[in-house]
Amino acid sequence: MEDMQSVVRISLVSYLLLLIGCAATSVSRQWAGDTGNFAAANYECMRDSRTPYGGSGWGLVAAGAQAKHQARVLYQMCMESKGYQPVCPTGYHLNDDRDKCKPDSEK
């Protein structure tokens, strides 16, 4: 019985360490622009940026990653076309693709 409890404890600790190690803190960009029309613009851009993909095995994984990237690009272009600009909180700046905020210490 003690052996089983030890195995459960070790498994639980390993699982928690894995979760802690994989946890990443990220800062989301915001959109600066007309707050009165944001909900409608966001909805339209989310709807219009959906990108279908297909495949099997590793091809499906690659296709999914490419579709996700393409959807982000289309969404950003749509929001910018409606007058919204991506901004980061104080102490952060946009990366080269302007889709994520990075700490100013990582320039």
Q: What would the pLDDT profile of 86-102 be if each residue is shown by its tens digit?
A: 999 999 998 888 888 89
Q: Is 53 part of any domain?
A: yes
Predicted local distance difference test score (pLDDT) of residue 24: 47
Q: For 10-46, give one letter per residue: b (16+ CB within 10 A) or e.
A: eeeeeeeeeeeeeeeeeeebebebeeeeeeebbeebe
Q: Which tokens belong to 82? A: 């409606």
Residue bearing tokens 């600009």: 85
Q: How many domains does the chain have?
A: 1
Q: Is 4 part of any domain?
A: no
Q: Is 36 part of any domain?
A: yes
Q: Is 7 part of any domain?
A: no
Q: Is 8 part of any domain?
A: no
Q: What would the pLDDT profile of 2-47 be if each residue is shown by its tens digit?
A: 666 665 566 555 555 555 544 445 577 788 888 889 999 999 999 9
Q: Is 2 part of any domain?
A: no
Q: What domain range includes position 70?
A: 28-106
Residue 1 clears pLDDT 70, i.e. is over it? no
